[in-house]
Amino acid sequence: MTVTSPTPALLIEHHGDVAQVTFNRPEQINAFNEDIRQSFPQLLAAIEQEPAIRSLVLCGAGERGFCAGADIKESRQVGSLVSERRRFMPHSWIEALDRVSKPVIAAIHGICFGGGMEIALACDIRIASRDARFGLTETALGLIPGGGGTQRLPRLIGLGPALDLLLSAEKIPAEEAYRLGIVTRLAEDREDAIAHALALAATIAARPPAAVAYCKEAAISGAHLDLASGLRLEKSLFTLLMGTSDRAEAAAAFREKRPPNFTGN
């Protein structure tokens, strides 16, 4: 089954068992609007339910950037009602990424500001081109990040460096983001970043799906637990995997010196 996008603002391509989703508003530097806020969780839910898709790459269309955050023209139309402001907040739809058990890799180029950076922070792995620029710029606009930036960034790079970026609203180049650990790999340009992301996604997709999902769960959930609780979680998931067909297939393929055929069971 092939997953399709509910909107032209989000493109989806299938590369074997890897899905590539592209934010497709290049004239607005892929700034997200109400259409994307409504459609992105729907698309992610469909990807999560499709067993033929084992990993996901997110990227932005055009040469200017990954995502510039919220569409400013639309944000100016938000009224004073609390309910309306809450609807506009990005955290609820960005959190849809937290419900994806499959690995999500962001291929970032150019501008990655505000909510765009928060989307990237919600991904599991981030690869950036050397022209990428990052910034949580909300305090300069009289706001704070509303899509998880104040929570995800400190967990990723530590409280001190995160507060430096959050409070100053400064923008940093890809090399600095790499030094801080915001991104794990650098690429030459947009096409190279996407190629690197697709290659890594294909490598991960070739692993047993349950092992990948459980490893992701253990690492992410365990990061919010004390060590003893995290170790118990790891032990529990390890024990579950010992009884899977894919675990037996991995052992058999090793003995027989052949490529494994993982089914997700």
Residues marked as catalytic? 118, 138
DSSP structural state of residue 139: G
- 222 phi and psi angles, rounded to 5 deg: -65, -25
CA quadruple 8, 10, 15, 16: dihedral sign: negative
5: nearest Cα among 28, 26, 21, 25? 21
Query: Counting Cβ atoms within 10 Å, is residue 33 exposed (0-12), middle (13-18) or buried (19+)?
Result: middle
**Cβ neighbours for 92, distance < 8 A, ≥ 6 positions apart:** none
Per DSSP, the chain holds a count of helices (H) and strands (E) of 12, 10
Q: Where are the beta strands (DSSP E) in the chain?
A: 10-15, 18-23, 55-60, 65-67, 104-108, 111-113, 125-129, 133-135, 172-173, 185-187
* SS3 state at 164: helix
